Amino acid sequence: MADARISLSRDGTVGIVTIRRPDKLNAFDLGMLEALDDVSHELEGDLNLNAAVIVGEGKAFSAGGDIKAWAALKPNEFGFEWVRYGHRVFGRLAELRIPVIAALNGHALGGGLELAAAADIRIAEPGAKLGLPETGLGMVPGWSGTQRLVQRFGGQVVRRMVLGGEMFTATEALALGLVDQVVDSGSAFDAALAYAKCVAARGPAAVQVAKLMIASATGEGNGTAVETLASMLIAKTGDLSEGVAAFAAKRPANFKGEW
């Protein structure tokens, strides 16, 4: 891995992604975004993995984007090299074929909450706070805070965080649906790993297809989900292998339409 601040390890069929920049509350810079992108590609390509956990090292999950990493960027650089790229990286994590469990061992703010929202399940400790403070800096959430978060949690709770600057405790976040479980202090990672192992023990094909179906139902990547599911279905038929063989042999295909 080019940037050791984002590491990937494995526990059986579960991948463990750790954000390792505790001195900066795991705030992201460009190098960390690139490393997370690499990790997502590795998770997607490792067919031995059936689930993943993402956790921050130290006392925070992630404080979001490091202000020093983007404050001096020109508007076009800020938009394309920072916001659009980060949006794409988080989107790739959200669209992984395997479910991702976020262990919120501490605060998840701004881009940190957007990262947590890219996971399928969020397990938090009581001391964690969640919020989108960007408008207090004269900017807006840029890594899906006004898009994926609205789709997953509803517009009103996002309005409260973005427009009013409200931050929620883990207990409040649980009531609002921002997190799925609150566990004892110091146990978020263990709880997330246990949940991931539970997911990983279920039928991998069923879990992965179900994740696509749920994403489609919630309006996330409808086109991607439909075309992926349809392509998988067609690939199970004899027509695909016959078509490929006919193309290679430069002969007419003998399609049978058998499912």
The residues spanned by each domain of the chain are 6-200, 204-249
Beta-strand relationship, 129-131 and 100-104 = unpaired
In this prediction, residue 220 has a pLDDT band, given cuts at 50, 70 and 90, of: confident
The number of residues in the chain equals 259
Per DSSP, what are the bridge partners of residue 8?
17
**Residues 34, 42 contacting (CB under 8 angstroms):** no
Whether the pLDDT of residue 40 is over 70: the answer is yes
Render pLDDT for 74-131 as a digit per residue (tens, 0 to 9): 999 989 999 999 999 999 999 999 999 999 999 999 999 999 999 999 999 999 999 9
**Residues 41, 79 contacting (CB under 8 angstroms):** no
Helix (H, G, I), strand (E, B) or coil at 81: helix
- 78: nearest Cα among 146, 21, 30: 30
Arithmetic mean of pLDDT over the chain = 93
Q: Name residues whose C-beta falls within 8 Å of residue 215's C-beta, 6 or more positions apart in sequence.
A: 95, 221, 225
Catalytic residue among 95, 125, 134, 220: 134
Give the pLDDT of residue 257: 76
Directed axis angle between helix 30-45 and helix 85-94, to 10°? 30
Whether the pLDDT of residue 11 is over 90: the answer is yes
pTM of the entire structure?
0.91
The answer to whether 114 is a known catalytic residue is yes
Render pLDDT for 166-188 as a digit per residue (tens, 0 to 9): 999 999 999 999 999 999 999 99
Catalytic residue among 95, 114, 125, 220: 114
For 64, left (φ over 0), alpha (ψ -120 to 50), or beta? left
CATH code for 6-200? 3.90.226.10
Give the pLDDT of residue 190: 98
Neighbours of 191 (CB within 10 A): 19
In this prediction, residue 222 has a pLDDT band, given cuts at 50, 70 and 90, of: low
The answer to whether 220 is a known catalytic residue is no
Edge-first strand order for the sheet with 60-62 is 60-62, 107-109, 129-131, 167-169
Q: How distant is the alpha carbon of residue 5 from its chain centre?
A: 17
Higher pLDDT, 240 or 171: 171
The span from the CA of 214 to the CA of 193, in Å, is 22
Give the pLDDT of residue 233: 79
The span from the CA of 225 to the CA of 212, in Å, is 5
- Specify the amino acid at residue 195: Y
The span from the CA of 102 to the CA of 41, in Å, is 18
The span from the CA of 53 to the CA of 133, in Å, is 25
Whether the pLDDT of residue 229 is over 90: the answer is no
Give the pLDDT of residue 107: 97
